[in-house]
Copies of this chain bind each other. A is one copy, B any other.
Amino acid sequence: MEPVKVGLLGLGTVGGGTVSVLTRNAAEIARRAGRGIEIAHAAAREYKPEAIDGIGQIGQIGDDAFAVVEDPEIQIVIELIGGYSPARELVLKAIENGKHVVTANKALIAKHGNEIFAAAQKHGVTVGFEAAVAGGIPIIKALREGLAANHIEWIAGIINGTGNFILTEMRDKGRDFADVLAEAQALGYAEADPTFDVEGIDAAHKLTILGSLAFGIPLQFDRCFTEGISKIDAQDVAYATELGYRIKHLGIARRSAGGIELRVHPTLIPERRLIANVDGVMNAVLVKGDAVGPTLYYGAGAGSLPTASAVVADLVDVVRALTTDPTNRVPHLAFQPDELADTPVLPIEEVETAYYLRLSALDKPGVMARIASILGDQGISIEAIKQKEPAEGESHVPLVMLTHRVVEGQMNQAIAQIEALDSVTEPVVRIRMETLSG
């Protein structure tokens, strides 16, 4: 059978990796897909041909991405440009032209996925986006197909490798955030502008996608709560370790009584959990289903070849299903498009979680009682307290507490009252905490 002709937009890190994988594993991929896959037309503004194995296999390389999506020979378009625009216009045009699309663009899917999937449905094509979440880990497939029997209860994922590298180094070596960030930038793990990674925006894009797949709700990136790791202090990393916990930057999607929680924030988790031992740039997603219980998916969440692995897996999926009746394909968001629910995404104030608190309090009688009484009045019970020795010549002592679960709004009130105390001089440090069991 004739090879399937594919168009490729972007020849950067992931684009180059995709060319390499399709070239070096061409025979094996064809044995799996039932047909060869040929990159007939690629477009890139600038690229380094010498850095791409198999570049010579590409039929035609130009600089006009729209020429690729208009090329009548092309059946599948791979979008690896990234960003919102012109990626959105290109993808929509490809769909309008009846082409299937494969993309690694998490920002695009998180923000414009509803529009894109509606267009794909209208035109009877598939949009694959396995590479948009957790790189080479087939987590989209697991949620959309492998766990299709389950009522998903929650998901907790380490879905940004840069952040996990920084937190791992901080813990292993007692280093400061800024120090490790500089090293991550030097190693190429972090961008010159690290905001997307360390402030959790990249993770929020991915979590938005995971949340929709798990709970059958439309993509709602704007409603995802996002808190970064740039304010994590070395002493909190050390106290967490002392208490038997690790701090991980988690994306958490949870179904609760009032709605769906979508939140990215630093989180204390028990060190014995498998996911607490996912270190360095690696990613992992823990999914709790009512039938299957906890399952975990681990692997490289970024990088040229791992991301290309997911891109090409989507290509194989599309090729294997090329002749399939469009209404009988796996739905983009796991649930049939007319079966999405309007369950609300909860504001963070309505989310319930446990907390790690650190405050700096005057070391005198009655202070602790006052703090405990504020917490008690807000219905917050304390699970553990550690009072540290005051530093030489200091009148304030660090006080570390772990609380039981409470609604965030209550905690906000308690913290405001604690910070209003004369005996408490610095802002209260608050890190959310999850057991990831049950």
Residues of A bordering B, CB below 8 Å: 17, 21-22, 24-25, 28-29, 31-34, 130, 135-138, 141-142, 145-151, 216, 274, 277-278, 289-300, 305-306, 308-313, 315-317, 320-325, 327-331, 334-336, 339
How distant is A398 from chain B, measured CB to nearest CB, in Å?
31
Bound CA span A333–B429, Å:
53
Q: Which residues of B contact A28 (CB under 8 A)?
A: 151, 216
Within the complex, the shortest CB–CB distance from A369 to chain B, in Å, comes to 41
B32 touches A295 (CB 8 A): no
* A137-B295, A149-B308, A149-B312 known; A325 vs B328 contact (CB < 8 Å): no
Taking a contact as CB atoms closer than 8 A, the residue among B309, B322, B324 that contacts A150 in the complex is B309
| Residues of chain B within 8 A of A32, CB atoms compared | 148, 216, 331, 334-336, 339
> For the complex, what is the distance from the CA of A306 to the CA of B327, rounded to whole Å?
29
Task: Report yes or no: B274 in contact with A313, Cβ–Cβ below 8 A.
Answer: no
Point out the residue from B21, B291, B316 that lies within 8 Å of A17, measured CB to CB: B291
Contact A145-B316, Cβ < 8 Å, known A25-B150, A32-B336, A274-B278: yes
> Are B320 and A306 in contact (CB-based, < 8 A)?
no
Shortest CB distance A61–B (Å): 21
**A308 surroundings in chain B (CB, below 8 A):** 149, 291
Question: When A142-B141, A274-B278, A300-B292 are in contact, do A149 and B29 touch as well, CB less than 8 Å?
Answer: yes
Given that A32-B331, A298-B295 are contacting pairs, would A25 and B138 also be in contact in the complex, using a CB cutoff of 8 Å? no
Complex Cα distance A323/B25, Å? 31
| Chain B residues with CB below 8 A from A290, complex form | 24-25, 305
Q: Are B324 and A309 in contact (CB under 8 A)?
A: no
A323 touches B321 (CB 8 A): no
* Cross-interface CB contact of A216 among B31, B298, B322, cutoff 8 Å: B31
**Nearest-CB distance from A309 to chain B (Å)?**
4
In the complex, the count of this chain's copies comes to: 2
The answer on a CB contact under 8 Å between B149 and A295 is no
B146 touches A141 (CB 8 A): yes
A-B contact pairs, 10 of them (CB 8 A): A25-B290, A33-B148, A130-B146, A142-B146, A274-B278, A296-B297, A298-B298, A321-B328, A322-B328, A324-B325
Would A309 and B138 count as touching, CB distance under 8 A? no
Q: Is A145 within 8 A of B298, CB to CB?
A: no
Contacts of A295 in B (CB 8 A): 136-138, 297-300
A315 to chain B, nearest CB (A): 8
Contact A147/B291 with A32-B331, A32-B335, A328-B320 known, Cβ cut-off 8 Å: no
Given contacts A34-B336, A328-B324, contact A292 B309 (CB under 8 A): yes
- For residue A297, give the distance in angstroms from its CB to the closest CB of chain B: 6
A185 → B minimal CB distance (Å): 23
B309 to A300, Cβ gap below 8 A? no
Residue of B nearest to A317 (CB): B145
- With the chains together, A135 CA to B311 CA distance in Å? 27
- Is A291 within 8 A of B305, CB to CB? yes
By beta carbon, the residue of chain B nearest A149 is B312
Residues of B within 8 A of A289 (CB): 136, 309
Give the nearest-CB partner of A330 in chain B.
Answer: B320
Q: Cβ of A313 and Cβ of B33 under 8 Å apart?
A: no
Centre residue among A137, A147, A290 by max chain B CB count within 10 A: A147
Are B31 and A335 touching (Cβ within 8 A)?
yes
Residues of B within 8 A of A150 (CB): 21, 25, 309
Query: In the complex, are the beta carbons of B142 and A316 less than 8 A apart?
Result: no
Measured CA separation A23–B396 after assembly (Å): 59
6 further A-B contacts with Cβ under 8 Å, apart from A31-B336, A291-B306, are A34-B336, A146-B313, A277-B277, A292-B305, A320-B329, A323-B324
List the B side residues contacting A310 at CB < 8 Å.
146, 149, 292
Q: Which residues of B contact A294 (CB under 8 A)?
A: 299-300
- Which residues in B have their C-beta under 8 angstroms from that of A311? 149
Chain B residues in 8 Å Cβ range of A33: 148
Among all A-B residue pairs, the 6 with the closest Cβ atoms: A138-B146, A149-B312, A295-B299, A136-B292, A31-B339, A292-B309
Chain B residues contacting A31 (CB-CB under 8 Å) are: 216, 335-336, 339
